Structure 1
Amino acid sequence: MSIQSKKRILIVTNELSPYLELTDFATILNKLSVKTFDSGMEIRVIMPRFGIINERRHRLHEVVRLSGINVVVDKEDHPLLIKVASLPNARLQVYFMDNEDFFKRKAVFRDEHQHFFDDNPERLIFFCKSALEIVKKFGWPPDVIHCHGWMTSLVPLFLKTAYKKEPVFVHSKTIFTAQRPQFEESLGEGFVKMVMNSAAIKDKELEPYNKSDNEALIYGACKYADVIVHGEPGLEDTSLSEFKSGRHKKVVSYSDEWMENIDPLFELYQSLTQE
């Protein structure tokens, strides 16, 4: 298989074992990434560089040639730093999106008093945009983009709107891992306007996100993704029940065997690259 003929998989995620484990999917994605790499496909993983990730232990280092991009969030420029590490026991590169204002703190989504960070909406937008901007800078067109976690929930929207004419994403199929809401707070009345100020997106295109809470993020991501993977059991009985497998959407039901056998998810990658 030539380099040019290799299929390309991009995973954009909140979490990945061993760097950050918020749910069981951190381990599942680790296994899925390694299997995909070992199969001969090209794969890259992008995640936030949360401050609790130990850079020395995991051997993160800045990629100076890729850093220096400014990412617009709510009409303001924010510098993007790119760091990279090799996944242990694999020659697989994991790229970490970093910014001192958003990710330096030694926490993930809440402070020491369990208060939801006020700037989590900005952090969400910054991460989703920075993930796509760095892929543009790579000039590396992915066949499949697998988004996992609420911090990736704007990526399917961006790909179908603000980034739909970008040559690097023209043939990309998107997967979103749906889970139950992981926070109860609102992102604020100005969240949708903030997204509009950050990218060329019309008000109507943002309607699925109008509730500006975690449920709306999940719903909106599922609305725009090509494939939905149920990352938890019982999601058929939630607001996602309207999404059915059919001509324009594929839905993969949850399996409690994924921790031991990720072959069905790997086969999903394979099938999407062959369409």
Structure 2
Amino acid sequence: MAEKIKRLTPKPDVLRELFLKSGNVCAFPGCLHPIVDTNGVYVAQLCHIEAANEGGQRFNPEQTNEERRQFENLLLMCHRHHKETDDVSRFPVEKLKQIKKQHEAKFEKVLDSLANDVYDVALAYEPTPPESAEVFVKEGWIVEEEKPIFMEEMNELIRLLNQLSPTTRKIFLLVVNRVDLTSREFSINEFQYVVSMETREAYNHIAILERYGLLFDNEDTDFYERKITVSSLTKESPHPVVLLLREFCEKHSADLSSMLVDLNFEALKSNV
């Protein structure tokens, strides 16, 4: 006799593993939304890759009720991205499994060190730098003679990002995506309205990025005129490499988040 389809609550050990491997951020690529806020309040949602009930997104009649509540079928997301992934045409089963795998893989090294009282969250990411600047010569954005200068700045960008927390990198990504490509500036006034965290905390990340030389904040001007500026990291470079990365990603539909947050530059190799 076939079992009656019934939504089962995930077991405590499954939930514990989900929360540990979430890194306390939504699993959707590039999302900053926390799973638990600074007051300890759960502010996300438990999502099924293959629905728990008949009629739900990606429901699999071949699964058992028990299989539907297992770790492999679950992930944690903010409300917005939970709803967005209801679009089955854009987010079939394999796509969500890939999102889950890539997100949780970031925190494997951190989990390996959980026996320690203090650990470095930057351990969650191992850079895969590009091998050359050839793709940018091909695009016509730099000339052959600029390749060594470009790679010097690229390596410095990766070195600096690799020292920062994933959240600080995501703030950097937000600024890079918003900055005007001509002026290389972004309004600090606008920034406070587009970032998805408490304003003071967000400004702390800006201060960190400025201290590392990744951003410049002209604090001496009136607040409403203040700008965050993206500049070159080396004196010789005529182009901020991070803005060329943004242009590359926009042209080739590549994922800038993968580069600036995950430090994965594989997309540059595939386009050489």
Tell me which interval the TM-score lies in, with the shorter structure as reference length: under 0.3
Larger Rg: 2
Compare the two structures and name the one with the higher strand fraction: 1
Compare the two structures and name the one with the higher helix fraction: 2
